[in-house]
Chain A
Amino acid sequence: MINSNFETLSFVKRVLTPALPVVLGYIPVGFAYGVLGVNAGISTLNTILMSIMVFAGSAQLMATGFFAQGLNPFSIIITTFIVNLRHMLMSASLSSHMKEWKKIEVAGFCYELTDETFAVHSLRFSEGDTSALPAMSINFICQFSWVVGTILGVLAGNLISDVKPFALDYALPAMFIALLILQVHHRKHVIVAIIGAVISIILWKFGITQWNVILATVIGATFGAILENTSKNGKQQITEVKHD
């Protein structure tokens, strides 16, 4: 078992270290969401409940704006669905690592699957640390910090939030840079990353601001799978030629 190597790692190294950058990013963003929520007129309790029951940063910020504009519940829910649909792809791509998990573990883990926790786990799982408990602990710590950030924001209320002096707003972009580069192992990854990034920004530029990530991911991953297939077939042909 690959897992046994990770059992010897301390809790700090195995759980807190991967969770820390997400926590650093989530507290200020959760704070900003909390401030915006109560300023939009959402009740304190509802603002906090959204961080507990939805746990999706961009959708929550969007819902805050929609609430302020007086949009109907149905539109808010449909938009949330579209904005968060990209998590389907993330859930699918992590699925092969959850073979041994109990159903309740899968259910709990997926509840807290966000862009950021996905980014952390896709690296951890590919390195072989696929046990359920540390993965769920990381997710729990991340959502906990999101809720704490929200509560602090709600309490700060109308005091203007400014997290910029400490550059905390750059914690999550920098984390994504690191997690992307750490998962680029060969030239096909580079090509897929460039395709995903470029298509995503081009679609955004054309006003497709809610589907751009999903579409770019599907196209990029399809390209990668085709490249892999053709290079495999190529190798097979070479070996066949050698046999002749």
Chain B
Amino acid sequence: MTNELFFITIIGMGVVTYVPRLLPAWFLRGRKLHPFIEAWLKYVPVAVLAALLLPSLLVADGQMNLSWSNLYLWAALPAGFTAWKTRSMFATILVGMAVVAIVRLIL
């Protein structure tokens, strides 16, 4: 593919990425929604964060890995415990990264 053609591809990628990011906010804001839809939208953050998170912890190199070698998964336990106890994003990230770094250093 030539540079010019790939540049046009990038424009296309940009458009199909931007439109779904923009339209819902553009048309739904300031609109009175049905109570069920309102309740539904309230649960989207928790549902989508969980749906993104679990595969990112379980899948390594295209394979599901539940063994002890999956550091991402086991480091989530101290990190999650820290988030639950401290309610602090920074403490959580520090503990998660520290656990991962230390285990890698030892192994």
Contact = CB atoms under 8 A, between A and B. Distances in A.
A29 interface: no
Contacts of A81: 16-17, 20
B106 to A, nearest CB: 13
B27 to A, nearest CB: 8
A196 interface: yes
A224 B40 contact: yes
A92 interface: yes
A112 to B, nearest CB: 8
Given A80-B16, A122-B45, A192-B46, A96 B28 contact: yes
Interface string A181-198: 111100011001111111
A176 B21 CA distance: 20
A122 B45 CA distance: 7
A93 B87 contact: no
Interface string A52-96: 011110010001000100100100111011001111111111111
Secondary structure type dominating chain A contacts:
helix
Given A80-B17, A171-B93, A197 B44 contact: no
Contacts of A85: 20
A177 B100 CA distance: 14
A212 B55 contact: yes
A196 B80 contact: no
A106 B25 contact: yes
Contacts of B36: 225, 229
26 contacts: A54-B13, A54-B14, A54-B17, A59-B17, A78-B16, A84-B20, A88-B21, A88-B23, A92-B24, A94-B25, A95-B24, A106-B29, A119-B49, A170-B75, A173-B57, A181-B92, A192-B43, A197-B53, A200-B55, A201-B54, A201-B55, A201-B64, A220-B43, A220-B51, A224-B39, A229-B36
